[in-house]
Structures are given as structure tokens and as C-alpha cells.
Amino acid sequence: MPKFAANLTMLFQEAEFMERFGLARRAGFQYVEYLFPYAWDARQLKQQLDQHALKQVLFNLPPGDWKAGERGIGCHPDRVGEFREGVAQAIEYAQMLEVRQINCLAGLRPDGINETRLRDTFQNNLNYAAEQCAQHQLTLLIEPINSRIDMPGFFLDTLDKAIEIQESLQLPNLKIQFDIYHMQIMHGDPDRRLRQHIDRIGHIQFADSPGRHEPGTGEIPFEYLFSLLDELNYQAWVSAEYIPKTDTSASLSWLQTFN
């Protein structure tokens, strides 16, 4: 079965953030991720990882003002300087937390800017970020996020767009973060997409659809998909990034089933 990770932003919300590391370990996880580390001192986060024998596998570049509704600035032409500062900050955290991959959120389309300029900006930012990451042996990820339900207006909303950008840039350390939930909403047939593009994928996340809850609450055949990842010899992590339907403990029956 895959190497499962717990997304501590989504799971264990019954507890304060710093308590979630221990809860994840006690639930059976060896790996964790969360959206952003920047609100905490990296040494404090590393202490939690070491104390509970956990490995952190992912976080995102700074997204702009998340609380105000921003969802990344990768495609924003007027914020390239801020983006580059964020790359430096993320690399510093990655080194201290021993994380080997960072996800770049493309962001919502700003008003009044045409598609070509948005794409050029995003690709130029990815070139810069990938070059900086390569100097520290880090992988840069890009994630298609559905624009139908969760993030209307998100610039990078289909797998096809992500593949086009990946092929255009030809950066050896640029991979795709494949979220089964988002891809089910935008495309359907996540199994077919995984079979076709597994070599492009550096990280996988999941939630069931509809609802974005745990496996077994929606229509996605997770037993088949997790077995498929073994068949495809996928070696990286598969992260639970869902909203528990009731509470986290009750939502984790899938972990005992698939581990």
C-alpha cells in the first residue's frame, strides 16, 4: 500500500495545531504535511517532528494573504518580487524541516489581465523557483485545483494545463501534485489519468467526492486506486487532505483498512 501522510491543516482540527503532530503519530501516520509553516518558528516545528518520529513531506510556497481569500500569487504579474521573496523563505524552511518538495500555488486570476500574460508570469516564476530549488536538491510541484466548487477562478485548474506547462518548461525538478479529489471534479476517471501520467507526478493527495470527506463517503473507488498506485510502482507519498465528516478519529477507518 502507499506511504500515507496526514495533512495537519485538514485533519485533527479538534486540537491546537502543535498537538496534531502527536495525534497523527498515535493514529498510525509516519508522515505529515500541512499547507504553510510560516506562522511558526521552524525550530518549533522540527521539535514536534523529531519528538513524534515524523517526517514532513510537503508544504506550499507563501500564498499571499490567505485569510483575505488569496490562493497563491504565482500568476500575478504585479507581485513577482513578493513571489521571489517567498521562494527564499520557503527554501529556508525546507532546509530546516528536511522537506524535499515544495508546492507552488498558481493563484486566482486577477481582474483585467489576459490569459497569455498570466501564463507567461506563472511560467517565468516557475523557472525562477525551480532554479532556486535545484540549488538545494528540492522538487517544485504545481497543483491543478478545481475551479468548479472549491476555488472558482483558480488559474491552474486542469491536469492538461499543468502538463502543457511542464512540457513547455522542461525543468527536471518540476513535478505535478495530483489531488484525486480535484481531478475527479474536473476530469473524472482519475485511474486513467494516473496510468497515463504517473511519471509526471511527484505527490498525490486525496479526499472523496462529493463533499471532500474521507474515503467511503463519496463515489471514488479508493481501494482500487490505492492498489493501482502499487501496480504503477508509485514510490512517493499519498496524503489525506480531507475534511472529516464528523471528527478525525471516526474518519480514519480507511487507514486501518489500507495499511
| Distance (Å, whole) CA 154 – CA 146 | 7
Q: Max alpha carbon distance in the chain (Å)?
A: 49
What is the SS3 assignment for 55-97? EEEEEECCCCCHHHCCCCCCCCHHHHHHHHHHHHHHHHHHHHH
All cell numbers assigned to 249: 478519529
Within 10 Å of residue 186's Cβ, how many Cβ atoms?
21
Angle at 89 between CA 120 and CA 16, to 5 degrees: 115
Instruction: Read off φ and ψ for residue 82, nearest 5 degrees.
Output: -65, -40
Residue 100 CA to residue 139 CA, distance in Å, equals 6
Q: How many Cα atoms occupy the beta-carbon half-sphere of 118 within 13 Å? A: 18
Residue 241 a catalytic site member = yes
C-alpha cell at 174: 518540476
From the candidates 70, 115, 219, 241, give the one annotated as an active-site residue: 241
Give catalytic status of residue 143 as yes or no: yes
**DSSP 3-state assignment of 192?**
helix
- The H or E element spanning position 254 is helix 253-258
Q: DSSP class of residue 30?
A: S
Cβ atoms within 10 A of the Cβ of 72, count?
A: 27
Catalytic residue among 33, 70, 143, 164: 143
* Cis amide bond preceding 210, omega within 30: yes
Q: Among all residues, which ones are annotated catalytic?
A: 143, 241
